[in-house]
Amino acid sequence: MKVYKNLILLLILLLSGGLKAQEDLKIGLVLSGGGAKCMAQIGAIQVLEEAGIEIDYIGGTSMGAIIGAMYSLGFSGKEMEDYLRQVDWDALLANEVPRNRLSYFDRKSAGRYFLSFPIDSNGINLPRGVNFAQYILRELSTITQQSYRYQHFSDFPIPFFCIATNLETGRVRVFEHGRLMDALRASSAFPSLFTPYEIDDSLYIDGGVVLNYPVRYMAQKEVDFIIGIDMQDYLRERDELNTIVEVLGQTTGFLNSRNQAESKELTDIWISPKIEGANITSFERFDEIIAAGRAEALKHLESIQLLALRDSAARLPKREKALPLPEILVKEIVLEGNESFTPSFVLGKLGIKEGEIASIRKLEKGMDQLYGSNYFETVDYTIEELDSAYRLIVKLKENDSQQKLKAGLNYSDDFKTSLLINYTHRNLLFKNSRLSVDLALGDMPRSELNYFVDRGFIPTLGIKLKSHRFRYQSFVNLEAVNQRIYQDYSLDLFLQSTLKDAYAIGGGVQIENVDISQDYERADFEDLNKGFINYYGYIDFDSFDDANFPHYGFRLEAQYRIIAERIGFETFLEPSSVINLKYQQVVPVNSKLTVIGQINGINTIGPGLDLPYQIYLGSMGQSYLNYIESFVGHRFMELNGRNLIMARADLNYEIARNHYILAKVNYARLENSFEALFDSNLLLDGYSVGYAYNSLIGPLEIHVSTSTNHPNFYAYVRLGFWF
């Protein structure tokens, strides 16, 4: 067929002496699926554009459907390249909400657990896929923003269709109308990696499972010529099946290999770029893949130019492009799928009001914040024109289960090995509520229970229960003298207001009991078992984009605490006060290097405090227990006092993706009296260098540290996340 059409085309050109034909030649473009490899289709499209080819119909599958939809709505090849280049593909595929867009409570535990299982009436379940593809939805919402203007996909600037596979029947569905974003999400739901997508009470997965190159449906359209850009690998050899992505890709290749002969027969110009070693997630090779698409298309340049000459006939005026709007005037906001939450809660997370001019960036941020609340499985939007303004329709899909069980691992030289388990129940007793129970099971067990109702700026009562048990070495003049067992139990009742999920202000009362005992007897130390009642107020701000390797943001912690020892239930000793200030600022030097600066001060006012409320410095781990602070160059809890001034700088350099070289330096003055902080000549210091790998189960860090305060070098290792 291809040879026959080319001969006819050449004959017409010869007979016409190169003059324009009387009738227009209808050209169809077919784009296969292939994930990241489909970026090559953009390079090939750019060659078609440069040759003067004008496409009359587009059909696609999976990522090819997304690129085809963009082209059909008016993106040029260059505009597609520029737009998709700025997408954070790692974040999109990981489906991780940026930490600074999570709710206040959720950002404190972000990334702590690497396994998550929903719980419903049937018990603990496995998810339908690794990724709900929320960020794919968000990008699709933006890309397809103006598709509302058309009743049918055939009304687009370039008519369009895409296909998906019905998960229940295994049949192909051709999407030519409805909500474009839904069609694209269904078409690109790669099995196991992305959850199936529901449309009209049916579940759909990637169209490529059955037909990854939908040329047979293009052949049914009124087109005279078909150009195909096919990114299928078909079947790989055994030595090429080394990853889960490659194995999953192989499963889709069985049927497609059988259809290969038919595909080539129906395609007049068949462009099939091959990129050695690339797979569906190789977005880091973006430029290389686009260049490969251009290079492969140029191999067919003679046929393309011949087609362009024939296709120079007079056409109808070009249709208007339907590119995303840079901003919209939101006249009305409609919430769809919201059943369990107050409109004020949803709109508060969205951060957009009726009558406001909202940019695309603000719309995307609002979607992130709604999704970051963890109450919704997916969040997306569409717009409708209302005179000179727009109706914003926010489509919410609530989580089927409000309960989750999560798990993680942690190891550190200070607290040894722990299995981390979390149970979370949302909307328990009250709307917008969150119950979280954390357990660390291992050498040094810890537990924490939090219950809070998120009412934004309206102060709300919260409850916190904590227990902590660990061993530590006590020191005198940097010499180890005794090993002790520290046990702490506390109950907090507090009032808290949150603003924009980043600011928290509150206060409360805490009942705390501390037991410190010896592993072996020393005459100069008596076991301590005391109860305390504490009153406190605090301000907390946290905008770090990542808890471990941030690229931007800052933290501010300020707390005033009144501490009174309890004798019995009614008698209290004279209280002391502690003022604690800590400020951290991320300074991005370039795309690879970041510096995190920190200053903090702790001032104790009043009589001497017992051991639990003294300031302890040392090691590199974390502890959320009273005033235990990390200080490199020294061992865990090696230094102690009642007043502190400290400065610290952390340098993180990313040598390769998820691989870091680390350097830390800190200085401090730690004294028993506030006045001595400024009179003392004793300056504590510490320095460390290390390596870190940001793994799926949490950071792996290896450090070596030292100090001018002593001649020793210390190694420190940790894996996973702390709570």
DSSP letters of 119-149? Answer: EETTEE---SSSB--HHHHHHHHHHTGGGGG
The tokens describing 212, both together, are 């990854």
CA nearest neighbour of 625 among 419, 472, 501: 472
> So what's the pLDDT on residue 607?
76
Instruction: For residue 521, count other CB atoms closer than 10 A to its CB.
Output: 8
Tell me the pTM.
Answer: 0.73
Per-residue model confidence as pLDDT tens digits over 575-630: 889 999 999 999 999 989 999 999 999 999 987 677 788 999 999 877 668 899 99
Q: Kindly compute the dihedral angle of the four CA atoms of residues 319, 67, 324, 193, in this order, to the nearest 10 degrees.
A: 150
pLDDT band (50, 70, 90) for residue 21? very low
pLDDT exceeds cutoff 60 at 5: no
Q: What is the DSSP letter of 27?
A: E
Residue with tokens 């409609």: 334
Q: What is the DSSP letter of 693?
A: E
Angstrom distances, CA of residue 635 to CA of 294, 479, 599, 708, 714 = 58, 10, 20, 14, 8
Angstrom distances, CA of residue 260 to CA of 143, 266, 272, 279, 703 = 31, 10, 12, 19, 54
β-pair type (460-476, 684-695) = unpaired
Burial 293-330 (b: 16+ CB within 10 A, else e): bbebbbebeebbebbbbbbbeeeeeeeeebbbeeebbb
pLDDT exceeds cutoff 60 at 131: no
Helices (H), 259-285: 260-266
Residue with tokens 């770090």: 544
The tokens describing 325, both together, are 């709007």
The tokens describing 300, both together, are 């067919």
> So what's the pLDDT on residue 710?
92
Above pLDDT 90, what percent of the chain? 46
Q: Which of 434-438, 620-624, 717-721 has the highest mean pLDDT?
A: 434-438
pLDDT exceeds cutoff 50 at 406: yes
Average pLDDT, the chain: 85
What is the Cα–Cα distance from 310 to 228, expressed in whole angstroms? 18
Give the type of residue at 59.
G
φ, ψ dihedrals at 569, nearest 5°: -105, -15
Mean pLDDT, to the nearest integer, of 428-444?
87
Query: 703 Cβ partners below 8 Å, 6+ apart?
Result: 620, 632, 662, 664, 688, 689, 690, 715, 716, 717
Per-residue model confidence as pLDDT tens digits over 133-142: 677 878 888 8
Mean pLDDT, to the nearest integer, of 462-474?
91
> So what's the pLDDT on residue 234?
58
3-class state of residue 302 by DSSP = helix
> So what's the pLDDT on residue 15?
46
Which is more confident, 28 or 5? 28
> So what's the pLDDT on residue 250?
61
- Say if CB 194 and CB 208 are below 8 A apart: no
Q: What is the DSSP letter of 257?
A: H
DSSP letters of 644-660? Answer: EEEEEEEEEEEEETTEE
pLDDT exceeds cutoff 60 at 509: yes
Instruction: For residue 608, count other CB atoms closer than 10 A to its CB.
Output: 10
Angstrom distances, CA of residue 278 to CA of 43, 60, 233, 292 = 16, 20, 10, 11
Question: 63-73 and 134-143 helices cross at what angle (nearest 10)?
Answer: 20
Angle value at C-alpha 623, between 114 and 606, nearest 5 degrees:
155
What is the Cα–Cα distance from 368 to 352, expressed in whole angstroms? 13
Question: 63-73 and 77-85 helices cross at what angle (nearest 10)?
Answer: 130
Above pLDDT 70, what percent of the chain? 87
CA nearest neighbour of 625 among 718, 529, 489, 444: 489
Per-residue model confidence as pLDDT tens digits over 278-316: 878 888 899 999 999 999 999 999 999 988 887 665 455
- Say if CB 471 and CB 516 are below 8 A apart: no
- Indicate the range of 56-70, 240-254, 434-448, 592-606 predicted with least confidence: 240-254
pLDDT exceeds cutoff 70 at 667: yes
Q: Exposed, middle or buried, 273 (CB in 10 Å: 0-12/13-18/19+)?
A: buried
pLDDT band (50, 70, 90) for residue 12? very low
β-pair type (57-61, 27-31) = parallel
pLDDT band (50, 70, 90) for residue 634? very high
Per-residue model confidence as pLDDT tens digits over 522-550: 555 677 888 899 999 999 998 888 888 99
The tokens describing 247, both together, are 């194995």
Mean pLDDT, to the nearest integer, of 410-435?
86
What is the Cα–Cα distance from 440 to 458, expressed in whole angstroms? 32
| Count of helices and strands (H, E) across the chain | 16, 34
Residue with tokens 């006012």: 605
